[in-house]
Chains A and B, each alone.
Chain A
Amino acid sequence: MNCRQVDKYLYDYCDDILNPEQRAQIEEHLLNCPICRRIVDESLLESTILHEQWEIPALPDDFTDRVINQIACTAIQANSSTIYPHSQNHKKWSRRFISLAAMGAILLIMLYGPALLKNSGLIQIADQEPASLKTTRESIMAGKADQESLKAPAGAAGSEEIKQETANGANRQKDQEESPSSPAGEIKESYGTHSVTISNNDNSQAQDLNLMKAETAATPEAFPVQPVNLPASYVLLNKVDTAGSSTYTFGRSQSEEQIIINIAQLPLRQPVTSTYSRGYYIREEAAPAADKSEIQSGKGVTSPSEEQGTKDLGAQPQEQAKSKALPTTNTISYELEFNNQKFLLTISAKLPAEELSMISRDLQLSATK
C-alpha cells in the first residue's frame, strides 16, 4: 500500500471500520512512512474528539406537551381552513404548478394548433357543445315538446371520435340545432359503438326518455345511492347516471305528474358524525298561464346542475309554501348524509309546496344494489 492508498482509507482506519486485512496493510506502510504516520496520528486525535459526546442541554420538561398541543392546534387550524405555515408552501407550489401548466398549454397549442385548424369541423363541434348540452338538459328537465330538429353533421367521422373521448358518460353528446340539411323531426346521435336514432313525435316524454336511456347506456359507473320511500303511487320512469350525480324521474300511472330527483355527490369536507340530517328550502315558480300542461324550455324550472352550482348549502331553512292549487313547479334542494358521504338532493315537481315538502321529508337514500 502506498501513501495515496493510505490517504484514501485514512478516516476509515481512524474510525476503525476497515477489515483486518486492509488495516494490516496500512499499519505496515505506517512503519516505514513518518509523513503518513503523523497524518494518521493527527486524524486519530480528531476522530477521538469528534466521537466525544458534546454537552447537549436538556429540553424543557413540558416539551412533549407542547408538541401535542401544537399538533392539536394545527389540526384545528387545518379543519377551519385558516392559513398555517404549510399553506405558504402550498401556495408557492400552486403558483409553480400554474406556471408549468400554462407553459405546457402553450407548447401543446403550438404543436397541435395547426393540425386542429386544418379540421375546422372539430372546432365547430367543440364550440357548439355547451349550447347543445344546455338545450338537452332543459329539454329533459322541463319536459317540453321540442319540435326542433336535431341532427349530427353527416359523415363527421372525425368528430365522432372526438366526441366519444370528450363526452365520457355521454351526457353531453348532442348535436347542432336547426341544421339546415337535417330532415325535420329526427335526432341522430353517435356514441362510438352506441348509435341511437330517435324519431321526433308529439310525445315529448318518450323522446326525453329515449335521450335518457341513450345517456344511461353509455354511463360507465352506477351511482352509489338511490332514493327510496317515495309514496307508493309513484313509479320509477327513468334514471340517468352522470359523473358525480344521478337523476331519477318518477311518475304516477294515472297522471302526468312527475317528480324529478337529482342526487349529486358532494365532496367530504369534514368528518361526518351525524347520520341523517337535512336543511332545505323550497323554490317555487309559477308555470306560464298560457300552457298549463307544459312548461316552456328555460322557464319555470332550474336544472339540477344549475341548482347545485347556485344554491347556498348552508342557508337557513326557508319554506315559502304558499299555493296549493296552482300547477306550479316547485324545487326543493337540501343536503343528506348517507354512509358518511354528503349528497345534494334537488327535487322538482309540479306539486303544491306542502306536498313536495312532505315527500322530501319521507324520502330517504339507500345504497344502489
Chain B
Amino acid sequence: MKRAEEETYREYASARIDQLRRVAYLLCRDWHLADDLVSIALVKLYRHWRRAQRMESLDGYVRKILVNSWLDEQRRPWRREQAVEELPETPVLDPDPDGGALLALLNELPARRRAVLVLRFYCGLSVTQTAEMLGCSEGTVKSQTSRGLDALRPLASRLETT
C-alpha cells in the first residue's frame, strides 16, 4: 500500500473507530474484547483496502468483517459462552436506569440472534442487508428478529411506560 492510500485508510479508520467500538460492544458486552475485535477488523480492512475503498458500501463491508470476526471468536471453544436458548417468561430486569437492563437482556441472547438485533436496530440495516451480511436467508433474519424482540419485549414495555 502506498503512503497516500495508507493516509486515506488512516483517515477512514480514525473516523469510524468510535462507532465500530459501540457495535462491537453491543455484540460482545466487553470493552476489552470490543477493542480487540475492532483492531482485528481494521487489520483485515487494511489488507484489502485497495479493493475495499472502491466498494459502494464500505461501512457495510467493515461491519461485516467486524460481525464475522466476533462470530469467529464465539466459535472458539475457550471463548464459548453459556448461551440461553429460551429465556424465562418473566426475566429479572436490571433496575439500572442507565440502560443496563437492555444490555443485560441482549447479553442473554444467542450470538447470531444478538447480531441480528444489533444490525437491524442499531446499525439500521434492512432484513435483506442483514441476511446478506450474516450469510443467511431473509426468513432466518425475520425469525431471529422476532424471537429476539420477544425476549426484549418486557423491557421495551417497561421503557415505554417510563
A binds B: no
List residues of A whose CB falls within 8 A of some B CB. Answer: none
